[in-house]
Structure 1
Amino acid sequence: MSESPVLRIGAREAAARLNLLAGHTPVPMLARVLRARGAAAVVITGDTHDWLDTPHAQGWLARPRSGPADHAARFEAALAQGWVAADAAVLARLPDHASAADLPVLSCGDRRIPWVPPRDARPDAGVYAIVDSAARVRACAEAGARLVQLRIKAERDHPALVPELREALRAAQAHGATLVVNDHWRSALAIGAPALHLGQEDWLSLDETERAAIAAAQALGLQLGLSSHSLWELCRARGAAPAMVACGPVWPTLTKAMPWVPQGLDNLAWWVRMAGLPVVAIGGILAPEQLAQAAATGAATACVVRGLGDDPHATLPVWQAAWREGRSRSRITPPAWPHPTLAPDRPAPPASPAPLPA
């Protein structure tokens, strides 16, 4: 069987290519076999859900409406413009002049999920401080930060972390700040932390039961934040109904090695328009003017890491003033379409294989 590098076809055609009866084989299995036979990526289209099986993402892409009639041509055009297949699948379903009400959502596995509508709230959360110790949480909270993330690079949920997390929580609460625990989700739930942030790889590494535990905590008030670097990650984040979604890296960053092309202010403004959630600007914000520019996109908050220096009591007022000044500027107009954030020939974190029916 001769295959195109990237296939985007309906379930009936997919079955026919494999000499199978339509409707007798689960769609995810059809896609997996087509990839095993040589297709670089497969998108199987449907009335309300498309199944993605690509090098970067797998899952059901659920949408509120059919979208543009020329979606097949839009998919090919997106590939020609340098988008990877997972992102092209999203763009194919967005109409001209799209809004957050048009953004699809992406599942984490082979279970179909309902489309998640946008939320209208665009809060102003000010400067988002990211630190690595309870002592620095206290310093940032004392200096007036309302959002402080504790990012400790250690074995996930190691018992030795709990005293530090509890101390950080007490420090944040004493000064009216919200503590966001990065990565260590079980420990965050155990101590009653008000907020949790997970990267996409961390989110994908959880099983259904673990994601259900976090969803139950969300129903009781936990604020979940998720990272996003691409269109498919934005769709996956929206599907988890988080309190905030991070867009990054806005500028080149040395904090961690990444394959992503910087978002720039144009993509950040597009995220703000399309996410349907409060957006966190993150990555490469090293100068107050950059923070002001991020604020002018309408982002709900923006992260400062290295810029906090040794003494947040001295540095945070400068960053907070820049944020307020940026929020007072005219809003940066988002582009009609974003630019690609991953070149087709550059690797990204691999998609977690979706569980398939036996």
Structure 2
Amino acid sequence: MTQSLTLKGRDLFWPPADELTEATERIRARLGDWPPTHAPWRICLTAPDEPNGGDLIVIADAQQHGAQMARWLTQGAGVIEAAENKATLHLGGEKYGLEGHLAEDWIAALAAFLDCGFDPHDALVLALAWRDGDETRADDAFPSDLAHFPRVTGLPAAPAQPFARCPPKLGLYPVLPTADWVERVVGFGVKTVQLRRKSAEPVDELKREIARCVAAGRAHDAQVFINDHWRAALEAGAYGVHLGQEDVHTADLSALAAAGIRLGLSTHGFYEMLKALHFRPSYIALGAVFPTTTKVMPTAPQGLRRLARYVRLLDGVVPLVAIGGIDRQVLPDVLATGVGCAAVVRAVTEAADPAAAVSALQQAFTQ
């Protein structure tokens, strides 16, 4: 049983609900030993007089609460609209729509997953993946059957055909800033790399860089992905592109899929994983596993415990890439989760001897 179960001393529900609290404690005790959350989440079945930033107010119909809902959101509260096997979270100016099974214990499950430290949109995903009685079936009742998970609503249509497949285990995956680096690293024998060039300007230079990367990949039988610049990658006939969550709403995914270009998508939790799966990508990146200085991350580091859960859920469904703060020291622990690929940045580009660094990193995949 978890050693961090401290629910009895907390204000979990409004109005106070002993039966819900007992159900939450029962579920929480079977989810594993997660560090207790420091966020003051409170699930409100009736709207409090003065909601705050820790309140998640559950309603059945947003249209009946239009003016009130706008006020609640302005005051920093979140609103969960739940009815007929659908749940939509409104929080922080974002809308997270889900369609799936609402168990009788879904609210207690939501409170338990919030206590495990999951952000509300991910906790809601897990609550909809919960089935009544799951806590009686095993010591570890954490949802791990993808068939039980909800689907994300309101997404643009996926391309008519899935994206081209890539190897199930991509191995070492350096993310590199220039074509010079790409040419150098594929020359070391690395078979999967990514060009992450932050600027698209000047355009002619960008196109030359991508063309060099594509040529280097073909010369060394390596899989070269291009980060963000999908138009230039499509024009150059790149092996693959890597996009962020926001890019699926603007990139021409159908054109990329029709051209046979592989697609990798970044994710930062369960909700974004489900969103990525909708588009049937070639791989899904899971991160950031550890703190990283290479880019500003939208979420706190995921850690190895969450990474292991993600791998357990998605292994065999789609190739997975762990990313964020990974170096030679932590790489064995990352691979111990079962993930078949790890992306690295500074472990190569800031190494005193990049060739030796690559060799040491590759050895971790064979141990």
TM category (shorter chain) comes to: 0.7 to 0.9
Aligned to 2:333: 293
Q: Deviations over 1:282-306 (max 9, x none)?
A: 111122x422222221112001211
Residue-by-residue CA offset, 1:139-176 (whole Å, 9 max, x unaligned): 22121211100011113793430011001100011111
Aligned partner of 2:283 among 230, 241, 244 = 244
Q: How far apart, in 2, do the equivalents of 1:71 and 1:293 lie?
A: 33
Question: What residue is the counterpart of 2:58 in the other structure?
Answer: 8
Q: Does structure 1 residue 100 correspond to structure 2 residue 146?
A: yes
Q: Which residue of structure 1 lines up, in the alignment, with residue 89 of structure 2? A: 52
2:361 counterpart of 1:319: yes
Whole-Å Cα distance in 1 between the matches of residues 64 and 353 of structure 2?
A: 65
The one-letter code of the counterpart of 1:147 is: T
Corresponding residue for 1:155?
Answer: 200
Q: Structure 1: which 5+ residue stretches go unaligned?
A: 20-29, 326-358
2:226 alignment partner in structure 1: 181
Aligned residue in 1 for 2:325: 284
Q: 1:104 to 1:324 in 2, by over 3 A?
A: farther
Question: Comparing 275-284 with 81-90, which one deviates more in the overlay?
Answer: 81-90
Shift in Å, 1:240: 2.4
Partners of 1:112 and 1:154 lie apart in 2 by 29
Paired residues for 1:22-41 under 5 Å: 33=70, 38=75, 40-41=77-78
Cα displacement string for residues 228-287 of structure 1 (whole angstroms, at most 9, x for unaligned residues): 222222222222222111111212222223353322221111111123422211111122
Normalising to structure 1: TM-score of the pair? 0.73
Q: Do the aligned partners of 2:126 and 2:149 also contact (CA within 8 Å) in 1? A: no
Q: CA deviation at 1:15?
A: 3.3
Matched residue SS, 1:215:
helix
1:121–1:151 distance in 2 versus 1, CA, 3 Å:
closer
Residue type at the aligned position of 1:297: T
Counterpart position of 1:76: 111
- Please give the alpha-carbon distance, in whole angstroms, between the structure 2 residues aligned to 1:112 and 1:257: 29
Q: CA deviation at 1:36?
A: 5.3
**Residue 311 of structure 1, CA deviation:** 4.9
Q: 1:315 to 1:39 in 2, by over 3 A?
A: closer
Whole-angstrom CA distance in 2 between matches of 1:56 and 1:312: 43
Q: Distance in 2 between matches of 1:231 and 1:250?
A: 14
Judge conservation of contact 1:9–1:43 (CA < 8 Å) in 2: yes
With a CA cutoff of 8 Å and minimum separation of 6, indicate the structure with the bigger relative contact order.
1
Q: Radius of gyration: which is bigger? A: 2
Amino acid at match of 2:358: L
| SS across alignment from 2:366 | helix
CA distance in 2, matches of 1:317, 1:218: 33
1:137 to 159, 174, 182: 182
TM-score normalised to structure 2 length = 0.71
In structure 2, the CA distance between the partners of 1:3 and 1:185, relative to structure 1 (3 Å rule), is farther
CA distance in 1, matches of 2:271, 2:180: 37
Structure-2 separation of matches of 1:182 and 1:82: 30
Gaps of 5+ in 2: 1-46, 131-140
User: CA 1:18–1:199 in 2, change beyond 3 Å: closer, same or farther?
Assistant: closer
Q: Tell me if the contact between 2:193 and 2:223 (Cα under 8 Å) persists in the aligned partners.
A: yes
Distance 1:89 1:190, change over 3 A: same
Quote the Cα distance in structure 2 between the aligned partners of 1:57 and 1:251.
Answer: 25
Letter in 2 for 1:58: K
Contact 1:228 1:237 (8 Å CA) reproduced: yes
Structure 2 CA distance for partners of 1:265 and 1:220, relative to 1, 3 Å: same
Q: 1:56 to 1:140 in 2, by over 3 A?
A: farther
Deviation of 1:136 after TM superposition, in Å, equals: 1.5
User: Aligned residue pairs: how many?
Assistant: 297
- Please list the CA deviations of residues 6-50 of structure 1 after superposition, one character each: whole Å capped at 9, or x if unmatched: 223323xx333349xxxxxxxxxx97x475575722222243443
Gap change, CA 1:80 and 1:125, over 3 Å in 2: closer
SS, match of residue 121 in structure 2: helix
